[in-house]
Amino acid sequence: MTGKHANIPDFSDLTCTNLMIRLKMLLKKTPPGVPVACYVRRGQRDTIEVPFARSGYEVKVQKADAHRYRVSLTKKETEMDL
């Protein structure tokens, strides 16, 4: 990858369980309002989209190619964060 996509990790080789652990670790270190992005497979996308949307994250999914998706997770700011 080149340009602005060079720093986005590709987690498509991880199991869904390992992907969820990795994302939770990254999100814990990231301040509210700052997105965490990665590339995933179709099955992984389905696994993370609903749980994160239900737990206070804005989830954006963009199709990157035939079998990969770029997922961006942003923790929604609450009144306590402001």
- The structural domains of the chain, ordered by start, are 8-75 (3.30.110.40)
Tell which wins on pLDDT, 26 or 32. 26
pLDDT of the residue at 6 = 61
pLDDT band at 76 (very low <50, low <70, confident <90, very high): confident
Strand duo 57-63 + 68-75: pairing: antiparallel
> Rounded distance, CA 49 to CA 65, Å?
18
pLDDT at 81: 52
User: What is the pLDDT averaged over residues 24-42?
Assistant: 93
